[in-house]
Amino acid sequence: MRRLLPILLFLAAAANAQVRPEGMRAHVRFLADDALEGRGTGTRGFQIAAKYVSAQLEAMGIRSSQQTVPFRATGIIPDRSSVTLTHDDGSTVSLKFGDGFVNSGDILRQDATVEAPVVFVGYGITAPDRQYDDYANVDAHGKIVAFFSDAPASFPSDLRAHYSSSYEKAKNAAQHGAVGTILCITPTDEARAPWSRRVRQSKLGSMYWLEKDGTPHGARPELVAGVTLSQSGLAALFQGAATSLDDVFKSVAAGAPKSMPLPAKAKLQIASRHANVQSANVVGLLTGSDPKLMGEYVVYSAHLDHLGISEPVDGDRINNGALDNASGIAAMLEIARAFSELPKPPRRSIIFLAVTGEEKGLRGADYFANNPTVPAGSIVADINIDEILMFHPVHDVTPIGAEHSTLEAVVQKVARDQHVEISPDPYPEEVVFVRSDQYPFVKVGIPAVYVGAGYRPVEKDRNILEDTMQWIKNIYHTPKDDMSQPIDWSVGAQVANFDFGIGLEVANADARPTWKKGDFFGDTFGTK
């Protein structure tokens, strides 16, 4: 008996180490409280949230530190900004901020002005690996290029996401000699992301992290801040075009827009405010137990920031961000606790990373990926947690990005162990692979996975996909994402336990994850 007891205790502890739904609820209740004022990057509410995460980690015996990120913030000055379209027939249309266009400020120039003919370039994508080039038959040199969001639906989901990223589109525009950009949105895009939300959000401005020499990382001096046009702005832009706007929408829906010069010149005039802002990533560290592998790290990432205070919606100005992304931080804290309760730490070390600046364009994660607090090359995987939509029990999870690396086999094993099903990305058009914090890790060559709750309902007749589309349309990025929602915490715990299982497998495996041979992301960004 004496010799059995420690073994029994060991087994009991290992089996008990798991995420508790009520633990997640408690963390979200605090982080999404009005007192934290929506956790905007650089605000006091965010700082309090960061202190909370540090304190929780410390209570579990996990060391934590803050990585300060230097930012430049920019915001548009609407009444000194305009978009003027002059058509070949001499007629002129002036678009106003909020009605005809939006922009969240130019990061490089406080007074940015550019005037040039406009060329329509489809999606604005050049993808040699897909034999696809929107710039093939047009000359964009010295022009302002107009393109739609997204990428052809025929591209595989994560590749579609990659080519959809605004960073890739701006890079491609600059490489083709463009001097400015205009983002176009289809009526279908607008049905998912209402114009009023774009206006509200663009008023919150944007931020870039600063290189040591003070330049905003990733900014393109060749391009003047891109504007996004409303449906009325688009109608004005395509006036007199060789293809009517309706036909252009149809060609975009069919995945085959035709590039063409537009019979118009555009003058983009953007006046912006600049400020320097600091905000911190919280870095928790659980040291591994294998002397040979403890110098390698599995990263869990989740963004702690949200939109902060905005213009009101139904009288409410505080964007609580309960699901986006207090839910992910809560899951990560519960995963950290589960790790801390294991009888012995895993072989590799674990980093619990609560990042800032996600809502400004994945900036905090990008800063960490480019300025890691551990030696470059020692991070073996990123498991990102964002926006766990948990309203009704489901049989499945959606592990986005796993198929590009050996993480796919890990995910399959965890699914078998936990009796959870795996489903493919249900919304390729939402391009989630590039829209959360796993992407900066992928871009420095680190295999990553982002697990979402699935959509196969336990209760018959429930349409989770339809519920989710309604949530994206009506609740996402509004003050309504708060604790008044009918949240089912057991669904969140299912996702978090899945993430816990992945991390445990990766941290204890003999070999670190590798990109699959010939994988686009491995070939493009991987080093090994």
Residue 296: burial class (beta carbons within 10 Å; 0-12, 13-18, 19+): buried
| Cβ proximity of 133 and 152 under 8 Å | no
Asked if residue 437 binds Zn ion (CB under 5 A), the reply is no
Take residue 199 and report the two structure tokens written for it.
């206006």
Please identify, among the stretches 290-298, 319-327, 433-441, 465-473, the one whose residues bind Zn ion according to the rule CB under 5 A. Answer: 319-327
324 or 366: CB nearest Zn ion: 324
How many residues at the interface with Zn ion, by CB under 5 A? 1
95 or 432: CB nearest Zn ion: 432
Please identify, among the stretches 257-265, 320-328, 331-339, 397-405, the one whose residues bind Zn ion according to the rule CB under 5 A. Answer: 320-328
Residues 329-358 that bind Zn ion (CB under 5 A): none
Please identify, among the stretches 3-11, 256-264, 324-332, 488-496, the one whose residues bind Zn ion according to the rule CB under 5 A. Answer: 324-332
**Shortest CB 194 distance to Zn ion, Å:** 15
Asked if residue 324 binds Zn ion (CB under 5 A), the reply is yes
Question: Cα dihedral angle (204, 194, 159, 397), rounded to 10 degrees?
Answer: 100
Q: How far apart are CA 455 and CA 394, in angstroms?
A: 6
Please identify, among the stretches 106-114, 156-164, 279-287, 318-326, the one whose residues bind Zn ion according to the rule CB under 5 A. Answer: 318-326
324 or 425: CB nearest Zn ion: 324
**Shortest CB 305 distance to Zn ion, Å:** 9
**Shortest CB 477 distance to Zn ion, Å:** 6
Please identify, among the stretches 273-281, 310-318, 323-331, 444-452, the one whose residues bind Zn ion according to the rule CB under 5 A. Answer: 323-331
Q: How many CB atoms lie within 10 A of CB 466?
A: 10
Q: How far apart are CA 523 and CA 376, in angstroms?
A: 19
296 or 324: CB nearest Zn ion: 324
Q: Which single residue brings its beta carbon nearest to Zn ion?
A: 324
Which residues on neighbouring strands pair with residue 408, listed in sequence order? Answer: none
Amino acid in the structure at residue 15:
A
Take residue 212 and report the two structure tokens written for it.
């040591």
| Cβ proximity of 118 and 146 under 8 Å | yes
H or E element in which residue 98 lies: none
Q: What's the Cα-to-Cα distance from 24 to each of 182, 204, 323, 409, 488, rounded to whole Å?
A: 41, 29, 11, 28, 11
HSE-CB at 122 with a 13 A cutoff on CA atoms is: 26
**Shortest CB 177 distance to Zn ion, Å:** 34
440 or 526: CB nearest Zn ion: 440
Residues 233-262 that bind Zn ion (CB under 5 A): none
**Shortest CB 316 distance to Zn ion, Å:** 17
**Shortest CB 392 distance to Zn ion, Å:** 22
Binding site for Zn ion (CB under 5 A): 324
